[in-house]
Amino acid sequence: MPKELVRKRGKRKAKNTTDDVIPKAFEPTPAPSFVPLEQQDVEQPTEESNQISQDNAPSGRRIGNMFGGEADWVTPSDGGLGSIRERIEGDAPWGFVDPEVKSYFKTVDDKLKVFEDLGLPQGEDADEENEDRHLLLTAALSELRSRELQLATDTDCALVLERMIWNMGDFGRRVFADSLMGNYAKLIQHRFGSHVVQTLFTLGALTIDRECRNVFPSQEQTADPSEGVLPRMSSQIHDIAQELLPLLPTLIQSPFSSHPIRVLLLLLTGRPIPSAHTAGGPSSQSSAIRSKRSTKFAKSNANFKAFVQNDEETGADAPEGTLRAVPDSFNSLITEFWGAIRGKVGEVEIRALGVGQVAGPVIQMLIELEAQGGASNEKGSLMDTALSGLITTLHESSEAPSRSDYLELLLRDATGSHLFELLLRVAPDPVFSSIWSTYFVGRMGKLGVHPVANFVVAKAVTRLGEQELASLLDEVKGDWRRAVMRARTGVIKAVIDRAADLQVLGDKVLDTVCQSFEIQRPRDESFLVPCVLTLKPLKRYRKAAGIPAPEGEEADEVEEEEEEDRWKEPEPRLEAEPEMTEEEALQAKRRLGHLKKVAETADPLGPNIQGSLILQSLLRLPSQENETVISSLLAQPIDYLLKIAHSPISSRLLDVIVDSPTVPFKSSRKVILAFLGNFYGLVDDRVGSRVGEKLWAHCDGFLKTKIARTLVPFEITLSSSQYGRFFARKVNIGFFKRREDEWLAQQTAAPRPTPAATNLAASVKPIVPVVQPIAPVASTSTPVVPASSSLSADKKDKKRKRDKATRPEEMDEIDRLFAGVPEPSSSSVLGSISTSSEEIPRKKPKSAVEEKEEPVLKETVAASGDDLGDGFILLRKKEKKEKKAKKEKKEKSSKNTLA
């Protein structure tokens, strides 16, 4: 290795050297002699020199305040412990959980999840399994003592605690709720503790319901009175409410405590508390007590359910969705909640809270409870405050009230519109009439197509009477076409539904809908279903479908211009609504551009959801009006009808035709007959198979027979189809071909439960399976049995028994086996009987058609459920006749020989 690459050891430092030598570059320079300020050449500071560059500040920190404030990165006088202490108090106000305890509860959580997946214990070992789970839960509860607050505020242990609350039982929940007493005001505002409190309120409602029904846990009877008396859950909830009442205005504005307060209100009133864990996804009710983020998390990660069977919870709960029993003392608590809001919060603040995303649902719930208590029609009520004093005006003056800017804001605000909808739903009749005449009459043209206000109008229409509905129809003539162009048909559907509920003004509603789609009655009635289903006026539909205009009618150029410019039209503005800002205008432009892109890529003649809903509502009108819709549907070709039936959107139209009580059977029968001859194409589809079964269930015996005859040529194809095989199994075409009368009786009879199999082992050994009847097949295949089977089953059975009794020597092996078997019933087990070639003559070789028919034949025999049938009886009688003929022939030949 070259010497220059050899690593040399450095010289050892002398012991007498010191490290406190200051380099020359850092030696302090001597202070200059004093010079008067006016003689110094000092540069005056500028604005730029006063500012510190962000590049010179420490990485990841903000720079200091130019107005004399201290920079964030400057160490405070307490060494920075103040901010850390505040953070600790916010995240863990009762301290952090010990790591060993946290590890223990994580292990317990893993076991509890396994139990949740298994569900409640069942079977013979259910009691032992339930006891083992009780022991595990009891051990975990013993470790929980004195650590409830720490675990409830921990990010991991809070979920474990919620899972344990679901299985504690009534006594355990009362103990746990009592351990948190005095800390609910602070715990309910914690990020994780609020979820624990909410779960406790949800399950505590069931405990209170059982207490009101005098159902108490067994531990309460065996408890030692000297150790103290554990309060009932209703008493504890009363104390918790009293603890939270002074802070109620603050709690309803907190994003963490707002949801538990809503659950507490539902608990006090006895109303059902929705859950986010129900099947079908989160509902609108569950969103009232949980945020969208919390609902999504709970459905995937915190799907709690009970896995321990408690005796007091067995069969003692009220049916789901019904009101629960609550003590009478809770009614006074509701009044105190109203007083806490009305006494401590001003009117302006209440209105501001009503449009908030956090406090708004609580205000709405209090207004609804106030209306149910009959106190909303008073001066100074929460409803009066939300309506800007409208109720006070109605009590004090006979003049019509003026419009309020606040309610005008609610009409166009996405969050505040929910409050307006609630006010319209629960307001007393005089108050609603005043709201309708003040804020809606004369403005339906703009409100009906507004992106937010149209939902409020649709809610208000549900309370209109016949006269108000007639005035509304006169006002909206010509305005609904604009709503159709913008696909905002909520008001149209609400008006049709209201007319259907009242069973009035059906013809007037139908005329208004036809005018909205430019359909002239009765000339263009055949275009009603296609135009409404595609949500296109008649001229636009003809243009999209390539249908020429009728003679004498010229193309409207204005319509084509509107089609090109409708995406450039701005959103409608209300009178009190200010002009759009640049940002709002940009968002509206993007929204219209998105709608235009969707409209260009979508099928121009495809079904529309809004159009399908309008047609479904029209079919609920009186029979004279829905007959127009059905006639328009029947005027379409069969290909269009199949397209409707195969669409998940438009197929609901056929469901309503069958289910609507206002559609007579004669009309629905016409729709079913329109598919006659094409049921094969109808049911051979994912959606069409469901529609086919729906129509089949609505048919009478005559219609079912006609449909079955059209399906006979497609029997094999339908049986092998991915979707049609289910319908083919329901129709049972093979059985229909062989025994049409019995098939008809089976189809028209009420569905019977599947009979249980009968065990014949106790009667005879070895077990011989009982054969179901084998009926003659159609003319396309070779008959299995002779055609002489015209005798009834009873006569043949009697003759068979008589032959056995008179000639027992002629009984073959099969007869001897069946001699000790009782008469089979309809619950006999279908099987196959094994016979030798010497006992039963060989049949002819099966043809290709017979081989294909055999699986269907077995299904038919299995579904028939009859006793021993003609096929098996005649087969044995034929065998006996052949033996008898051979014997007689042999005796005759022997006599001739002797002679």
CB 730 within 8 A of CB 710: no
- Same-domain status, 162 and 280: yes
**Residue 655, in any domain of the structure:** yes
- Same-domain status, 398 and 295: no
Which are the contacts of 645, defined by CB distance < 8 A and separation ≥ 6? Answer: 651, 654, 675, 682, 685, 687, 688, 691, 692
- How far, in Å, are 159, 671, 711, 748, 863 from residue 724 at the CA level? 47, 20, 11, 22, 19
43-52, 543-552, 644-653 — which one is most confidently predicted on average? 644-653
Q: What is the CA radius of gyration of the chain?
A: 42
Domain count, the chain: 4
**Residue 754, in any domain of the structure:** no
pLDDT score at 220: 72
Domain of 698? 638-748
Nearest to 282 by CA among 298, 304, 263: 298
Nearest to 302 by CA among 463, 377, 192, 434: 192
Report residue 749 as tokens. 């009879």
**Residue 509, in any domain of the structure:** no
- Same-domain status, 669 and 705: yes
Could you identify the residue written with the tokens 């003759």? 799
Could you identify the residue written with the tokens 């249980």? 756
- Same-domain status, 719 and 836: no
Domain boundary among 303, 335, 367: 335
**Residue 46, in any domain of the structure:** no
Nearest to 486 by CA among 389, 390, 563: 563
**Residue 113, in any domain of the structure:** yes
- Same-domain status, 673 and 695: yes
Most distant CA pair in the chain: distance in Å? 174
Mean local confidence (pLDDT), 497-507: 92
Residue 792 or residue 643, greater confidence: 643
For residues 505 and 467, give the distance between their C-alpha atoms in angstroms, rounded to a whole number. Answer: 10
User: What are 426-448's pLDDT values in tens digits?
Assistant: 999 999 999 999 999 989 888 98
pLDDT-derived band at 650, boundaries 50, 70, 90 = very high
Percent of the chain, pLDDT > 90?
Answer: 28
For residues 311 and 454, give the distance between their C-alpha atoms in angstroms, rounded to a whole number. Answer: 52
Angle, alpha carbons 311-173-243 (nearest 5°): 145
- Same-domain status, 807 and 726: no
For residues 655 and 620, give the distance between their C-alpha atoms in angstroms, rounded to a whole number. Answer: 12
For residues 818 and 766, give the distance between their C-alpha atoms in angstroms, rounded to a whole number. Answer: 11
pLDDT-derived band at 609, boundaries 50, 70, 90 = very high
- Same-domain status, 395 and 434: yes
pLDDT score at 762: 36
pLDDT score at 493: 94
Could you identify the residue written with the tokens 């089977």? 789
- Same-domain status, 372 and 267: no
For residues 683 and 727, give the distance between their C-alpha atoms in angstroms, rounded to a whole number. Answer: 7
Least confident of 107-111, 405-409, 553-557: 553-557
pLDDT score at 344: 85
- Same-domain status, 306 and 350: no
Which are the contacts of 40, defined by CB distance < 8 A and separation ≥ 6? Answer: none
pLDDT-derived band at 379, boundaries 50, 70, 90 = confident
**Residue 885, in any domain of the structure:** yes
Least confident of 156-165, 306-315, 434-443, 671-680: 306-315
CB 773 within 8 A of CB 830: no
Least confident of 11-15, 28-32, 233-237: 28-32
pLDDT-derived band at 377, boundaries 50, 70, 90 = confident
**Residue 610, in any domain of the structure:** no
Domain boundary among 439, 472, 498: 439
CB 359 within 8 A of CB 375: no
**Residue 801, in any domain of the structure:** yes
- Same-domain status, 392 and 433: yes
- Same-domain status, 119 and 263: yes
Q: Which amino acid is residue 321, in one-letter code?
A: G
- Same-domain status, 300 and 192: yes
For residues 650 and 671, give the distance between their C-alpha atoms in angstroms, rounded to a whole number. Answer: 15
Which are the contacts of 770, defined by CB distance < 8 A and separation ≥ 6? Answer: 760, 824, 828, 829, 830, 831, 868
CA atoms within 13 A on the CB side of 86: 3
For residues 423 and 882, give the distance between their C-alpha atoms in angstroms, rounded to a whole number. Answer: 90
830 pairs with which residues across the strands? Answer: 770
Domain boundary among 304, 335, 366: 335
pTM: 0.68
User: What are 151-171's pLDDT values in tens digits?
Assistant: 888 888 888 888 888 888 888
CB 173 within 8 A of CB 165: yes
For residues 689 and 668, give the distance between their C-alpha atoms in angstroms, rounded to a whole number. Answer: 18
